Structure 1
Amino acid sequence: MAGSSAAAVRRCAKATDVCQAGRYDRIGSEVELAAVGRCRRIGFTEGTPERCRKTSPRMPRRPVWIARSIYAVRHAATHLVEACYIVIAGFVGMRVSEILSMEVGAIEFRAIGETGVKQAYVVARLFKTVDQHGGRLERWIAPEPVVTAVKLLEQLSAPFREVSGRRELFLVKNTQYGEIVPVTQMHIGWRINDFARHVGVPLHEGKPWPSALTSSANLRSLHRA
């Protein structure tokens, strides 16, 4: 699944500016429809809105089309966050708490010895076996798919960070109080299972994958499935 998630990150890269800025009027372009990946499922043919109207007599009026498109983009953006999470967990092997602690600017490049070659690292907080309150900053080697995933998370979380003043990359709006809060381990577990259903991951022994799915070991098992 990590492989398919890395592909999802690449496919949706060009749609992140639409999700971030709320420019839903641009969603009709071929690139953005392809990035959302849901146009056919909601009754649209490929191409621009004008082409859709010409080729499909069932094409709804533009206001309805925009409303459905907004939902599709928001849904795709949510799953893109989950795809980024899976890429990071699968390629780096970080714990759930470590991934969720990442903040803007989490990617650092450091020179390897005197070679002049720079290696990318993802910076987050290590909590296990650490007595320090709030954990301590730690670095993990970050391959290229992880660098891309973190950059996308920075773009997707930008509106939440701007409103709340927070720096975390995994943020969500609390539906009860309307506050922007960090994503919890329980919440990301539910979202990863929802993502697994969305992309058609086979059941595990006839049942949904366990709630511990968010661990890097289980995500590697899910990838092999």
Structure 2
Amino acid sequence: MKITHLAAAVLALGTTAAQAQDVVRMGTEGAYPPYNMINESGEVDGFEREVGDELCKRAELTCEWVTNDWDSIIPNLTSGNYDTILAGMSIVAERKEIIDFTQNYFPPAASAYAALSEDADVEGGIVAAQTNTIQAGHVAETGATLLEFATPDETLAAVRNGEADAVFADKDFLAPAVEESGGELVFVGDDVPLGEGIGIGLRKSDDELEEKFNVAITSMKEDGTLNEMILKWFGDDAKTFE
């Protein structure tokens, strides 16, 4: 009987450990609608919440959502505070030196300039962008003066209060602000394509988890679920997967 009880206890501990390994902490910013946001109930919401929950369901993983400021979102992934990043993060070479990415769950999206006037100087003026973003990196390589802020809302505020001549960000983020501004904000110049699309960021050691998410993303692309979610959150004109 003692041996049986011991074996049962060991089995129970093993089952608990296996279950614990299936709990994946999904890191996001919660401040970049419609990709991610905090709703009135104080919960993570948005396109990436819906995508992430469906991916975990298909991969038979349990999701727990964690929010983190953008400027430290990669360091806190690598230090183990959560297991993934789903935060509108573009796949670019500089980031791939530090972390791994799944295949993209959002196609390469356009970035754009927005300002109070179509005549705003986006090439030689002051341009606001969120720190540590692909957009900030782009502005730094132009003739403009880069003005960085910790949150995307602050970049828009900088234009409205005259600190910056324009803001450069994902067009999907800027579009609602431009539309709701009643003509105060306008897009300036042509769209700028950047990056390889948006993927899930993971630690380089998490190959098994990366593969599970890649399989789930592929299945969502193949059955049309991912395109349906993109159109739901970004509108009928949004770019989808072919």
TM score, norm. by length of structure 2: 0.23
Higher-Rg member (1/2): 2
Bigger RCO (CA 8 Å, 6+ sep): 2
TM score, norm. by length of structure 1: 0.24
Larger % of strand: which? 2
Larger % of helix: which? 1
